[in-house]
Amino acid sequence: MTGVIAVAISAVAYYTSTGLGTFWPAAWLAPIPILALAFRSSKVTTTLAALAAYVFGGLNLPYTDWEMSRTPVVLMLLVLYATPFAVSILAARFALKRLPPMAAFLVFPAFWTAYEFVLSRMQPNGTIFNLAYSQINVLPLIQIASITGMWGITFLITLIPSAIAVAWTRRDLSVLALAGCVAILIVGYGFIRMQVRAQEPEIRVGLGASDSDRPPFDAAPTKVTAFAQRYAERVSRLALEGANMVVLPEGLLPVTPDDSRDVLQIMRDVARTAHVTLIVGVSRLGRLRRNVAAVIGPDGEVTAEYKKRHLVPGIEADTEVGQVPGLFTAPMFKWGVAICKDMDFPEWLQDYGRYGVQILAVPAWDFGGDGILHSRMAVMRGVENGFSIARAANGGVVTVNDAYGRIRAEHSSSGAGGAFLVQSVTLGPGRTLYSQFGDWFAIVCIVAVVLLLSVGIYRSQRQYKT
């Protein structure tokens, strides 16, 4: 019965805080029952409880619903993702039996942080399932990402539960005191960073997206041209409201080699007459499709075409992969362009941070239910690298946020008439310690796991010999 209760509490906590869940405090509670159970139970009980908790909690992962969860394939994937969680719990159990509490309580957070980092480099979906995103609305906490990347957030929200479970099991409050001091320092840094007022000027950003008004990829050229003209009128209205830069969604204009020139000329003309920098998603159709963001300057000239780097598995199998970051210098600031799924990969955006980008334009196309989650993942990249973000997504939300994670404007693209807005946002400071030094903290966690478990194995062997 104790095991059932532990599984139920952890599963509900993970379900409500991760994936599409938004109740962030539950993420701090989720590991505690399973850790406490593991410290007093057998390996078999620990493994089964950890797997069950993570599988049931994982039913709220993006693109997984209760209907899908009945299929063997999805269940197999959930078990696959739950296995590292069970291994991390077993590692924590082993460490507490072989190491002092002050060392043992570090194993679970270091292991899980290291695992999420390695997974993000191996899987085609980047960081989409990472625990740190559950805390994206806790602004003082996420500022540590400017130093450690999102890995510092993951570490902290697994460190506190580990400390509580160890302190409860060993009746040792010293580990809880140490973890509390770490949390205070991190949150304190966040408050201080948020009080710093950037000296950079503000920019007026216009965004537009409408789920009810977009042509299919196989639309006739005349329909695409008419569609481009409608959007050109909207760009003009956004410019009249004061927009200096306008961002339109990913893949907004499906063009062939025959009609590409005419369709883009409509966008070039409106950029010149409205005197705005226009970033519009273009799907260049052909044997090998190209998903690009066309950058059109206030003079109507196409400054560049950024090609999407990270593609959606399966859906974009026929799409050419981009190789070069979209980095640009305007008269008063540095800015960049990325497309949708690119924002799921911290290592790709580090190049933007090192360049000193202060605002990033992101054409995007979400899948409906994941709109808020995906936009918040993009917010994390801004905090990590010191730039504000203007993100326009079909099938999701248009969002403007500053470099500290504050949402300045947000509107659903599925509403009546879509989402068309103009918002002022302060340019980010550019360049952070994280953008300069990369994933150093995740590497430290990997080394820590190896060292701690090695010491535990060594002590176990010595005890066995004696």
Q: What is the pLDDT along the chain (466 residues), one digit of tens a residue?
A: 888 999 999 999 999 999 888 899 999 999 999 999 999 999 999 999 999 999 999 888 765 554 455 567 677 778 888 999 999 999 999 999 999 999 999 999 999 999 999 999 998 889 988 999 999 999 999 999 999 999 999 999 999 999 999 999 999 899 999 999 999 999 999 999 998 765 668 999 999 999 888 777 666 777 889 889 999 999 999 999 999 999 999 999 999 888 889 999 999 999 999 999 999 999 998 888 999 999 999 999 999 999 999 999 888 989 999 999 999 887 678 999 999 999 999 999 999 999 999 999 999 999 887 888 899 999 999 999 999 999 999 999 999 999 999 999 999 998 778 899 999 999 999 899 999 999 999 999 999 999 999 999 988 877 766 5
62-88 in b/e form (b: 16+ CB < 10 A) is bebeeeeeeeeebeebbeeebebbbeb
Q: At what angle do helices 107-122 and 440-465 cross, to 10 degrees?
A: 130
DSSP assignment of 84-124 equals HHHHHHHHHHHHHHHS-HHHHTTHHHHHHHHHHHHHHHHST
- For residue 364, which phi and psi values (nearest 5 degrees)? -145, 165
Instruction: Say which residues have a Cβ less than 8 Å from residue 385's Cβ, sequence separation at least 6.
Output: 349, 350, 352, 353, 357, 428, 430, 431, 432, 434, 435
Domain map (residue ranges) of the chain? 2-195+439-465, 202-428
The hierarchical CATH code for the domain 202-428 is: 3.60.110.10
- From CA 160, how far away is CA 143, in angstroms rounded? 18
Please check whether residue 439 is in contact with residue 345, taking contact to mean a CB–CB distance below 8 angstroms: no
Q: Check: pTM over 0.85? Answer yes or no.
A: yes
